[in-house]
Amino acid sequence: MDTHIEVIPPMEANLGARILVVEDEVAIQELIALNLAQAGHETEVASDGLEALSRVQDMLPDLILVDWMLPGMSGLDLVRRLRAHQRTQRIPIIMLTARVDESDKLLGLESGADDYITKPFSIRELNARIKAVLRRRAPQMTEDLVLFNTLSLDPATHRVHAGTTEILLGPTEFKLLHFFMTHPERVYSRTQILDHVWGDHIFIEERTVDVHIRRLRSALETTDHDRFLQTVRGAGYRLTALT
């Protein structure tokens, strides 16, 4: 196949995402995985749909790249199966394919893919598409500056400010605040917070969330921002401007 994938130097530092590459051509699979690793992502590979489903059971990825033409189960069917299950229905998915007809693109998007890249493509385009999809579907995985009320959080420098006052946070509290600031107003259960912040492949007690919430509130208390992080009885936690 005449797929062009250029090797480029590592990109600027970023948070990195867990990306599953589902591609049956080994050479393309390895080149994509190599370049994604150089861009700071953690990559897993699968050669067909069944292997991909097995990988997803072991560790939920932050994003999946799926080739349309796979042996056995097609990439289209794989996307549909992922979208049909609650655990995987929200994972960002980008389809890779040599099909260029508009009808094929629409079919891919209607199956549940978030984006669609036609071959040949460059790794620069792929990285840009990945960043765009993560920004829409998983903003906590990007390095974009996040603002909430007078709070600002910069993932690139790992700094949080309330106005001009810097708030010092530990690594886990920083990730917690980053998640809440990129998903304001919505209530998340302890299980959901564990999955999004720690990863669903990490097995720890749900009460661990409460411990880190208390630490985060304590740090935010110095600037009176702890009032925005609310406990919703019987449901979980939310970050809200409505206090």
As a three-state string, the secondary structure of the chain is: CCCCCCCCCCCCCCCCCEEEEECCCHHHHHHHHHHHHHCCCEEEEECCHHHHHHHHHHCCCCEEEEECCCCCCCHHHHHHHHHHCCCCCCCCEEEEECCCCHHHHHHHHHCCCCEEEECCCCHHHHHHHHHHHHHHHCHHHCCCCEEECCEEEECCCCEEEECCEEECCCHHHHHHHHHHHHCCCCCECHHHHHHHHHCCCCCCCCHHHHHHHHHHHHHHHCCCCHHHEEEECCCEEEECCCC
**In this predicted model, which residue has the larger pLDDT, 138 or 11?**
138
What pLDDT is recorded for position 62? 87
Residue 3 pLDDT greater than 80, yes or no: no
pLDDT tens readout for residues 41-76: 889 999 999 999 999 988 888 899 999 999 999 999
What pLDDT is recorded for position 227? 94
pLDDT tens readout for residues 73-120: 999 999 999 999 888 888 899 999 888 777 878 888 888 999 989 888
Q: What is the mean pLDDT of the chain?
A: 86
pLDDT tens readout for residues 153-194: 998 899 999 999 999 999 999 989 999 998 899 999 998 888
Residue 224 pLDDT greater than 60, yes or no: yes
What pLDDT is recorded for position 200? 60
What pLDDT is recorded for position 40? 86
